[in-house]
Structure 1
Amino acid sequence: MFKGSGVALVTPFCEDMSVNYSKIEELVEYHCENKTDALIILGTTGESSTLSDEERIKIVETVVKKNAKRLPIIVGAGSNNTKHAIEMAKKFEKLGIDGLLLVTPYYNKGNEDGIYKHFISVAEFVDLPIMLYNVPGRTGVNLSIKLLKKLSKSKNIVALKEASGDISYAAEVARLVPELDLYSGNDDITVPLMSLGAVGAVSVLANIEPKVVHNMVECFLKGDVKEARRLQLKYNGIVKALFVEVNPIPVKKAMNILGKNVGECRLPLGEMDSKNIELLKEELQKVGEKV
């Protein structure tokens, strides 16, 4: 779907908590100018679960128009309602995007047969490449190797965003399901996952350090493992601070501290603890950001 750094883009809000579409345009331009390799929108970091269908469609329309085919656009259409996921995937496809991100069904969870049929049902209704999203900490479900192997036989299911944080599991995916392109979904282990064959990252850090994440991935792909490792270790302090509270509370706070003015998170995500804000500022300063 892409090689390099895909930003898990935040959704900016105005003071009245409506979507700030003009700010979305600014962010798209920022990433086009700062080495981001793909735009991943309406995911966890994009607070998709708090957006209406109408808002989602307008966000995709805004990104597609502003991007003007400069970067690949991958849109989150995942749901715990299969029918709704299919409907949204079909609508997004008509807007001219490049791929879909489908998170594992959450809350109702599903058994292996149900999850298989859920993903395959979406894949059968679109012609876009699909990246599965494994994030058991959010969904309560970890995709089994057996299920991934079965899903990889679909011509449209081509990639996995791996965000379990389990290196052993990722190694088994790489060993036993090489049909799926692997992407790091955890900023603190991007380089380790690339050593197992990952071709890129879907990054929260890229919202504030797009060039860094791009360079980290590019260096590894070009064989400069030493520099990739240096960047990984240098920025892991700020990465940890970005996840000291539930994502995307810290990254939006960091962006606001740095003057990007993306607004607050919609409820039920509340204000960041003051001690954690100070930690965030300290880590931003350590990597050379002015706060």
Structure 2
Amino acid sequence: MKGIYSALLVSFNEDGSLNENGLRQIVRHNIDVCGIDGLYVGGSTGENFMLPTEMKKRIFSIVADENKGQVNLIAQVGSLNIEESVELAKYATDLGYNALSAVTPFYYKFTFDEIKHYYNTIINSVDNKMIIYSIPFLTGVNMSVDQFGELFENEKIIGVKFTAGDFYLLERLRKAYPDKLIFSGFDEMMLPAVVLGVDGAIGSTFNVNGKKSKELFYLAKEGKIAEALNLQHEVNDFITDVLDNGLYQTLKGLLSLQGVDAGYCKRPMKSQTEEMKKGTEKIYRKYFA
């Protein structure tokens, strides 16, 4: 389960419907061109929290069918509707996903006991494994080392996708739970996360920049820090340009320029403006041409 996982982009048609052929092309690009180790399906990058349940299921199904066991698959099934989470967990497990993940429940200020019940309810409903998705800057949910430990008491909860800038907490987690999987969730902070002992990384920019990101990861793992730092500088130049131009729209635009039908973003996200298209073309010429 270790290594580089793309937080999978999803192709939509202009009317918001799922572009199934485009999704298959994105999967193939990640596996065949970017050479990633796995796919994290149904996360923020997949615009998951704007989708109806049946569309989420269809995405899980298409990805599994196109992948055909080539790389590891993680299904993000978290939702404010716990019945939906359980339904998706069962569906993805039946499809053969290697593990599940679930974002911490957000919006309402849930107590830790409520959060713990949420995770145990989801993972105890299936014969599978759970990776906590911790992204406090979007959810407002911060957990301590001891609270992560309480969740890890359930042996089916095997790790965490750590999308936070608190590297003191990351170091404490790594030391306290050496046998749990920890994935870095910020592409721009991969090098320091690897130095602190993460087992892998899950990122949105890997959909287009997977080769270089994977090279960075393994350089850092091998202790070649100077080389890895130079590569992190290059990766972060790219990330800065993408963020300045519009994250998801630019990533989809870059895929389109490489012949992948990456489609549109789901409303209320806007489509690429003419200015954004010009910016995307400039980024493509700078980093990929």
TM norm. shorter chain > 0.5: yes
Matched residue, 1:264: 264
- Residues 1:47 and 1:63: Cα distance change in structure 2 (over 3 Å): same
1:69 shift after superposition? 0.5
Does the 8 Å CA contact 1:47/1:248 hold for their aligned counterparts? no
Match of 1:121 in 2: 121
Q: Which residue of 1 aligns with 2:149?
A: 149
Per the TM alignment, residue 284 of structure 1 is displaced from its structure 2 partner at its CA by 4.2
Residues 56-75 of structure 1: pairs in structure 2 closer than 5 A: 56-75=56-75
1:144-199 Cα offsets, whole Å, 9 max, x none, are: 22210111111111111111122222222222333421111000001110100101
Pick closer, same or farther for the CA change 1:243–1:169 going to 2, 3 Å. farther
- Name the residue aligned to 1:199: 199
Task: Report what 1:110 is aligned to.
Answer: 110
User: Does structure 1 retain, via aligned residues, the 8 Å contact 2:183–2:200?
Assistant: yes
* 1:237 partner letter: D
Give, in angstroms, the shift of residue 110 of structure 1. 0.9
How far residue 3 of structure 1 moved from its aligned partner, in angstroms, is 1.9
Shift, 1:276, TM fit: 6.1
Matches within 5 A, 1:68-87: 68-87=68-87
Counterpart of 2:181 in structure 1 is 181
In the alignment, the residues of structure 2 paired with residue 204 and residue 198 of structure 1 have an alpha-carbon distance, to the nearest angstrom, of 17
What does residue 5 of structure 1 align with?
A: 4
Q: Are the structure 2 counterparts of residues 104 and 69 from structure 1 closer, same or farther at C-alpha, using a change threshold of 3 Å?
A: same
Alignment of 1:119-268 (within 5 A): 119-244=119-244, 247-268=247-268
User: Residues 181 and 88 from structure 1, CA distance in 2 versus in 1: closer, same or farther, beyond 3 angstroms?
Assistant: same
Partner residue, 2:31: 32
* 2: CA distance, partners of 1:229 / 1:92: 37
What is the CA distance between 1:246 and its match in structure 2?
A: 6.8
Counterpart CA distance in 2 for 1:59 and 1:283 is: 29
Distance change (3 Å), C-alpha of 1:248 and 1:166: farther
- Deviating above 4 A after TM superposition, structure 1's stretches of 4 or more consecutive aligned residues are 272-284
Q: Distance in 2 between matches of 1:236 and 1:263?
A: 25
Gaps of 5+ in 1: none
Query: After the TM superposition, which of the residue ranges 142-151 and 239-248 deviates more from structure 2?
Result: 239-248
Q: Is the 8 A contact 1:188 1:240 kept in 2?
A: no
Per the TM alignment, residue 63 of structure 1 is displaced from its structure 2 partner at its CA by 1.1
Please tell me the residue identity of whatever aligns with 1:142: N
Two-structure CA RMSD over aligned residues (Å) = 2.1
Which is worse superposed, 129-138 or 22-31? 22-31
Name 1:53's counterpart in structure 2.
53
Letter in 2 for 1:201: A
Bigger shift: 25-34 or 74-83? 25-34
Distance 1:233 1:95 in 2: 39
Larger relative helix fraction: 2
| Structure 2 residue aligned with 1:95 | 95
CA apart distance, 1:249: 3.6
**SS of the residue aligned with 1:125?**
coil
For residue 159 of structure 1, give the secondary structure of its aligned residue in structure 2. strand
Check conservation: 2:3, 2:200, Cα contact below 8 A. Answer: yes
Q: Percent identity?
A: 26
Query: Which amino acid is the alignment partner of residue 268 of structure 1?
Result: P
Q: Provide Cα deviations, 1:178-223, integer angstroms capped at 9, x if missing partner.
A: 3421111000001110100101110111111121122121222233
- The answer as to 2:10 corresponding to 1:15 is no
Cα 1:200–1:88 change in 2 (3 A) is: same
Task: State the SS of the aligned residue for 2:154.
Answer: coil
How many Å separate the matches in 2 of 1:285 and 1:109? 45
Deviations 1:96-116 (A, max 9, x none): 111111111111241111111
Secondary structure of the corresponding residue to residue 44 of structure 2: coil
| Mapped contact 2:7–2:43 kept (Cα < 8 A) | yes
Question: How many residues matched?
Answer: 288
Instruction: Return the alpha-carbon distance in structure 2 between the equivalents of residues 98 and 251 of structure 1.
Output: 26
Local SS of the residue matching 2:23:
helix
Q: Report the alpha carbon displacement of residue 230 of structure 1 after superposing the two structures with TM.
A: 2.1
